[in-house]
A and B are shown apart, each in its own frame.
Chain A
Amino acid sequence: MSAVTKEIGGASNGGKRVIPASKASKWYQAEDIPALKKARKTARPAVLRASLKPGAVLIILAGRFRGKRVVLLKALEDGTLLVTGPFKVNGVPLRRVNAAYVIATSTVVNIDSVDVSTFTAAYFAREKKSKKEGEAEFFGDDEKKQKKAISEIRITDQKTVDTALLAEIKKVPALKAYLASSFSLKKGDKPHLMKF
């Protein structure tokens, strides 16, 4: 037990005292708690299927943008895919999408000129609402229905990514129209035989 020398006040108290650095517990468990076993499992980054290459055109299968054909930019650290319409082409913004809800097509766009290094999972994290003013929020329901203002950063980031991407898309004939169109199953379509 390490000891610490502390100065104390008072004329006739001796000036210094040696005190243990950490005090002994005032209270001990009646019975010893067994130590938990050490887990030998480690989380490793998930590996996505090979068809999900950066620049691939994906078909979104569920959610608000189901059926849209969209360009994959990169895989984020939380396992989701960063995707963009581009926004001008089909209304899909810079967005995260779960890889399980996506079909990868064999069409690939060259995205060497697009800078996606600034986007991380934290960029897309939901904004924390303040816990105060709970009652005011509860009764002010109509205001919630108003459209949430999109932050300026998102708009400018969307523009920079999309202008670079659109330049590449225009080089390929019919690609812009392809991305603007939606995917759907028609009569006689058999997904298990279709080559995407």
Chain B
Amino acid sequence: MAGTHRLYVKGKHLAHQRGKRNTNPGVSLIQIEGVSSPKDAQFYFGKRVAYVYRAKKEIKGSKIRVIWGKITRSHGNSGVVRAKFRSNLPPKTFGASVRIMLYPSNI
């Protein structure tokens, strides 16, 4: 049996897209582990992202909930990436881990 079963790349939810004084909560900035340039980040465009979290109330048999989104484009020169989620990620998730799936795959 393989030690891990991970089929996603780990990432961090850094912040909302913003200028110095105004934020756009509709777009989230994600830092993908191991990605440090826009050229590397290109592989991940269009890939689905999941923010997974736990809650006390069980819904449909599970206490684990997901907010799905996708990586839309590059952001800056250091491999950070923009993502849009079905519902915006709340600011309390800044610094939280996010899962970048390997699908839709183009390999």
Contact = CB atoms under 8 A, between A and B. Distances in A.
Q: Which secondary structure characterizes the binding site on chain B?
A: loop
Q: Which secondary structure characterizes the binding site on chain A?
A: loop
Nearest to A52: B107
Given A51-B107, A102-B105, A196-B107, A184 B44 contact: no
Contacts of B43: 191-192
Nearest to B34: A190
Interface residues of B, number: 23
B56 interface: no
A189 B4 CA distance: 12
Given A104-B107, A192-B35, A183 B40 contact: no
B7 A185 contact: yes
What are the nearest 3 A-B pairs in CB distance? A192-B43, A100-B104, A190-B34
A184 B2 contact: yes
B6 interface: yes
A56 to B, nearest CB: 11
Interface in B12-37: 34-35
Nearest to B105: A103
B92 to A, nearest CB: 27
Contact of B5 (A184, A193, A196): A184
Contacts of B4: 184-186
Interface stretch (A5-13, A25-33, A59-67, A146-154): A59-67
